[in-house]
Amino acid sequence: QCSTTCGLGASWRTVHCSTGKDEDCVAANKPVPARRCYLRPCSSWRIGNWSKCSKNCGGGLKVRDVHCVDTREQRLLRPFHCQAVVYKPPMQTPCQTKPCLDWYTSSWRECSESCGGGEQERLVTCPEFGRCDEMLRPNNTRPCNTHPCTKWVVGSWGECTATCGGGIQRRQVKCMNTKTGEAEEDSSLCDHEQWPENTQKCNPQDCDTSESTFVCERDRLTFSFCQTLRILGRCHLPTVNVQCCRTCRQHGHSARDRGNERVSRR
């Protein structure tokens, strides 16, 4: 039988001469009375320290290293060498089983920039230290006012195209960079603001055609357009007579207008 239950040991046996006297046998041929034996390695579980819990709350896990080793030679063994002696200790265990609390967030602070991209901050805290899930922590910063530093700039309204009978006023509208003070070629950079109208109607009141109050200085419409209206016999219309007063009066009424006048005299 081996002298040890694990590791290196020895097995012994009795050796004597068959005559009962050792001197009757050749000493050089005497068999060895012992031999080495090795049943199995001396093994045990080497257990490491528990790690920190994987979560602050809501149920996490702690883990540790568990290895089967040779206690004499301090070398790693396959697990079955240790399992034959004792069951393997657990490698993980539950921890921090208390439910998590909700994060508290304050309102967002004012943006660091009025345009061109800034940043807002807010306070994010846990009501009780270590009782909130870090994986669910809200952001404490966010981008803000990412629109370009531009705005619409309008000029003064120009003169109305007519003193009565309805005209149009125009003004200049530019997309201006508020930092450089220069106009942007790409007006779409101001699309974050409503586009101001660059035209509007003006002087919608009817024209007074009485000669006592109306003084004709020049045509209010183009010369060619007034000529066309005169040829078509529209000078008898009050609005045309005012808008094309010079053309209608210099050339007199058209043939159609004169015909209308003769009919009215009869």
Q: How high is the pLDDT of residue 9?
A: 84
Span 20-33, pLDDT tens digits: 888 889 888 888 88
Q: Enumerate helices (H) and strands (E) in the chain, giving the number of each.
A: 5, 14
Please state the domain extents for the chain.
1-39, 104-144, 150-202, 223-265
Give the gyration radius of the chain's Cα atoms.
54
Lowest mean pLDDT among 26-30, 236-240, 258-262: 258-262
Helix (H, G, I), strand (E, B) or coil at 92: strand
Res 86 pLDDT > 80: yes
Q: How high is the pLDDT of residue 19?
A: 85
Res 212 pLDDT > 80: no
Helix (H, G, I), strand (E, B) or coil at 22: helix
Q: How high is the pLDDT of residue 93?
A: 96
Lowest mean pLDDT among 33-42, 58-67, 107-116, 224-233: 33-42
Confidence of residue 220 (pLDDT cuts 50, 70, 90): confident
Helix (H, G, I), strand (E, B) or coil at 51: coil
Q: How high is the pLDDT of residue 214?
A: 63
By CB atoms closer than 10 A (0-12, 13-18, 19+), residue 107 is: exposed
Res 258 pLDDT > 50: no
Q: How high is the pLDDT of residue 261?
A: 38
Are the beta carbons of 38 and 8 closer than 8 angstroms?
Answer: yes
Give the CATH fold of the 150-202 domain.
Answer: TSP-1 type 1 repeat (2.20.100)
**Mean pLDDT along residues 212-236:** 84
Q: What is the DSSP letter of 47?
A: E
